[in-house]
């Protein structure tokens, strides 16, 4: 039994036409599977079906799993017999909106639904006339559940963009047996050069697993400019594959034997001093710090 996985990252442009965006995603996955018969997993970007922005969220929200975007992903996953990590869409449930990633099996079944736990809030002071203000929480409700899905023999943790800044979540996935974490991301260009690669390499080396991100293609004329650079980082924290800024379809094979090799050679989790951590946490709690 092979321990390898062939996956695809679809770094696609996003317009205000939902039908066009979804059709591009479906056509892209179909094209990649046709050209690469061994393809087993396709990954889409955060907000791949509609513009990303607080002002857009209510307009483009859909239900899960019965909305048109989810139904399109269900059909193509079944038609092609592959897994799909469906980036994210804005989910409407009652009077609440969530930033939600859906995961589909080769049978077209919904096997995972991750609601973004850490909503993106940023307030960067103006420098030379610049500056960025953004607050997802003005329109969205935060998720409250971790999400692990089974893809072939591997457990895969799901996060969405800002979730990758929180090492506690990645560590939980590591303890739950995950060998890969996937973060569909619409990372903004203001943070990208500083933190995009850094955060992924940090989560990979902290937890000795694969970290995979998929971004929309960059559109410098949009109100929110995505960084691009969809990426695969291996358990040694090496960048195995990186996209550029524009529309790009990537197919890559990853070898999960590397996860066990790294954990065996640098056994940090066997060396963790939980007695020390527990003692310190107890002392800090007395000071109301944790």
Q: Is the pLDDT of residue 176 over 90?
A: yes
Catalytic residue among 70, 101, 136, 161: 161
Mean pLDDT of the chain: 94
Q: Given this model, what pLDDT does residue 1 score? A: 61
Q: Are 36 and 5 within 8 A, CB to CB?
A: no
pTM reported for the whole predicted model: 0.94
Res 126 pLDDT > 70: no
Predicted confidence (pLDDT) per residue in 43-58, tens digit: 999 999 999 999 999 9
Query: In the annotation, is 78 catalytic?
Result: no
Catalytic residue among 33, 40, 46, 101: 46
Residue 130, pLDDT > 70, answer no
pLDDT tens track for 241-287: 999 999 999 999 999 999 999 999 999 988 888 888 888 888 888 88
pLDDT at 94 over 80: yes
> Among this protein's residues, is 46 annotated catalytic?
yes
Asked whether the predicted pLDDT for residue 74 surpasses 80, the reply is: yes
Q: What is the mean pLDDT of residues 73-100?
A: 98
Q: Could you tell me the two tokens for 74? A: 């269900």
Dist CA 93 CA 38 (whole Å): 36
pLDDT per position as a tens digit, 137-156: 999 999 999 999 999 999 99
For a pLDDT cut of 70, what percent of the chain falls above it?
97
Question: Which residue is catalytic, options 33, 113, 116, 164?
Answer: 116
**The domain that contains 264 carries what CATH number?**
3.60.110.10
pLDDT > 60? residue 129: no
Structure-model confidence comparison of residues 101 and 223, the more confident one: 101
Q: Return all residues near 233 (Cβ < 8 A) that are at least 6 apart.
A: 200, 201, 203, 204, 210, 211, 212, 239, 240
Whose structure tokens read 């990590």?
A: 85
Domain enclosing residue 14, as ranges: 4-286
**Which residues does 282 contact at the CB level (< 8 Å), separation at least 6?**
none
**For 23-33, how does the pLDDT look when each residue is reduced to its tens digit (9 = 90+)?**
999 999 999 99
Does residue 161 have an active-site annotation?
A: yes
Domain count, the chain: 1
Q: For 200-213, what is the mean pLDDT?
A: 98
What's the confidence (pLDDT) of residue 273?
86
Whether the CB-CB separation of 12 and 216 falls below 8 Å is answered with yes
Determine the pLDDT at residue 285.
Answer: 87
Which pairing describes strands 147-151 and 154-158: parallel, antiparallel, or unpaired?
Answer: antiparallel
Q: What is the pLDDT of residue 287?
A: 87
């Amino acid at each position: 039994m092979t321990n390898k996985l062939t996956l695809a990252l679809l770094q696609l442009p996003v317009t205000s036409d939902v039908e066009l965006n979804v059709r591009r995603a479906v056509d892209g996955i179909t094209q990649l599977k046709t050209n690469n018969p061994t393809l087993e997993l396709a990954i889409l970007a955060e907000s791949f079906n509609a513009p990303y922005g607080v002002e857009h969220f209510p307009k483009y929200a859909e239900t899960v799993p019965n909305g048109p975007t989810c139904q399109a992903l269900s059909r193509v996953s079944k038609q092609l017999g592959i897994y799909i990590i469906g980036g994210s869409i804005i989910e409407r449930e009652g009077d609440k909106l969530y930033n939600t990633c859906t995961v589909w099996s080769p049978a077209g079944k919904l096997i995972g639904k991750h609601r973004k736990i850490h909503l993106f809030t940023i307030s960067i002071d103006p420098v030379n006339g610049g500056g960025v203000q953004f607050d997802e929480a003005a329109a969205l409700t935060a998720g409250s559940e971790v999400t692990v899905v089974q893809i072939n023999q591997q457990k895969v943790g799901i996060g969405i963009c800002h979730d990758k800044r929180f090492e506690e979540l990645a560590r939980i996935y590591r303890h739950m047996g995950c060998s890969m974490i996937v973060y569909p991301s619409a990372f903004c260009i203001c943070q990208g050069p500083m933190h995009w690669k850094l955060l992924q390499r940090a989560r990979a080396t902290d937890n000795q697993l694969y970290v995979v991100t998929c971004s929309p293609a960059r559109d410098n004329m949009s109100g929110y400019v995505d960084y691009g650079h969809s990426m695969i980082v291996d358990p040694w924290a090496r960048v195995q594959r990186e996209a550029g800024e524009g529309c790009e379809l990537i197919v890559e094979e990853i070898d999960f034997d590397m996860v066990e090799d790294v954990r065996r050679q640098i056994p940090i989790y066997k060396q963790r001093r939980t007695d020390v951590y527990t003692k310190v946490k107890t002392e800090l709690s007395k000071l109301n710090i944790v």
